[in-house]
Structure 1
Amino acid sequence: MTTVVVVALVAVATGIVIVVTDPFGGRTKNTSTESTASTGLAQVTKGTLSARTQENGTLGYGGDYQVVNKASGTVTRLPNVGDVVGQGKALYLVDGKPVILLQGGVPAYRDLDWGTEGADVRQLNATLVALGYATKDEIAPGSDYFGRQTYNALKELQDDVGLGETGRLPLGQAVFVPAKEIRITKVTAVRGGSAAPGAAVLQASSTQRQVAVLLNASQQSDVKVGDKVTISLPTGRTTPGVVSSVGKVATKRDSKTTVDVYVTPSKPEETGQLDQAPVLVSIISETVEDVLSVPVNALLAMAGGGYAVEVVEAAGAHRLIPVTTGLFDTSVGKVEVTGDGLTAGQNIVVPAS
């Protein structure tokens, strides 16, 4: 009695299933003549494959800072949306006097003068050194004491921005934000209006390019900080990036539950100046090197379970080689495979395109 082996050809990329019967059991056969499906040839290749997660993202700038005014008087000058202001420069004017932008995570909340100590003094000292008004020998890194060198350095800064050289920093003369320079995104104060202490004046971001991705919460474990990324820009070009942050708190948005993932472009100059631009992000979550691979649609699902590929020998004979699958690279439509007798360069049968 003749044994019939049924082999299903699974075209994973297209969802097509083709059934091939082998009335000759384990004998070498020419499947191209027995199958009613049109076929072609591909090759077993050796190289690098990557597992990728493709997501929609939004290209913009990192950071979201709200500047709160502490001065009293009338707002006489404001920056424009899109302006970039660096630390040590006038951010806006109250009664014609500059309010200086300084770097630091502690908001201004008191006058700073000779003899004061604390985290706010530490960030003032660090900024004065960073701006070149004092050296590290003059103000030790991490110093939280307002001494003679702080006094002298602050007088130089005040002179450069057009303020009276008092050597003290009264509340309202400066605002601290945790960035060396900021990009204005929204102005809430009105020129000529009252500069009420405690009122928001403007909002800003950093000048660092960033892509925000709303990742499905179920995929959080597939992505980690440091994963390499390919960003597809609205211009049609691509540029590399790296995952810089993966959220740990899930948020329900519409019908999806997502976590925030942030990507830092490796070549920010290639991203242009578009803000809030839609991009496609391909996150490389795993990479294997020096492995054999075949097109995904070359896989044959065997009747007893598992997969095989149909190899075409140099003389034209066809034979099935059982394979074990590994990593799938959806970006190139290939899958990692291992199997006895499988080598790079062999011709294999695939559905005709």
Structure 2
Amino acid sequence: MIKLSAGTASLAGLVLAGAGAMGGILLRPADPPPGLRAAAEVTSAPTATEQFTDERTVKVAMTVAPTPPLSVAATGRVTASYCTAGRTLKSGALAARINEKPVVALATKIPLYRDLDLGATGRDVAGLQQELRRLGHGGSTGGRYDYWTKTAVQRLMRAAGVSGPDGVLRISQVLWLPDSRVVPAKCSMVVGRQVSQGDKYATVPRRPASIRVSPMPADLAPGRRTIELMGRSGPLGKDGTVTDRDFLAALSRTREFQDLKPGDEPPAARIALAAPLRTVKVPPSAVFAVDGARGCLQSGRRVIPVRIVGSKLGTTLVLPDQAVPSTVNLGSSITARSCGHG
């Protein structure tokens, strides 16, 4: 056995004591860095406003109308024709001359079928008046052919190159168009040809009669909407139908529509609000007591009913029923349970 001197024993004791102390230090859990300590609860957040158009991609169903050929209501020899296949023929423009008498193209909702003069009444008169005003010739409304309508007809004829018009709308002087702009596919009226009432002037391509969004999304934000299809835009009815004549006519002139075969499914369309909504952007957790598209926000002690209209990048877009708050409560600071209690 090896004997230790008193000094050596004392030194060994000090070493062991130091090792024990160091071991205690190493075994004690280290304090967490400041960044990992529990953060204080976030109890409010600022709001922001955002223009919201509620754009959606939708499927559409299309009804294609049979398109009868354009025909003249005059009898005589063709002395001039202003029809060119593939070139737009506009309402109000000169279409032809028969026995040197001008024939003016004119689009009305009700096909013109009789001569019109002072005192005439009916839907055809109302359609004529609407088109005269659209063309910028003024006149009255109401479906009665009065002095102002007669004056507007004179302006129409004069603008088309008719000399000394008397204001009577003779059916022999009109080529009725189904739309304000028509692109003939084939012209049938040749200069020098003898024609009779009802003879073909030109054939026009088929055109859509109506369009319907199918199905119409159920969670749309409130407001009037537009539809964009085949590069053209127009108004969309509340029920998801499109019947605007100008929009349908514009579609009929597109290459995409003309290339559609019977049975083909139309391309997808985009619908959006005609006027963007000024929505409030809040964290999703700020909205409580959600019931369908309705919910509540709390700002301080004020409780605000809202309509939920959408979401974007981790935020919820709402339309408040009251003034827009600058901040909203979060977490435990939401003390209300419904929009009726603060």
Question: TM-score under structure 1 normalisation?
Answer: 0.44
Whose RCO is larger (CA < 8 A, sep 6+)? Answer: 1
- Higher-Rg structure is 2
Structure that is richer in strand per residue: 1
Structure that is richer in helix per residue: 2
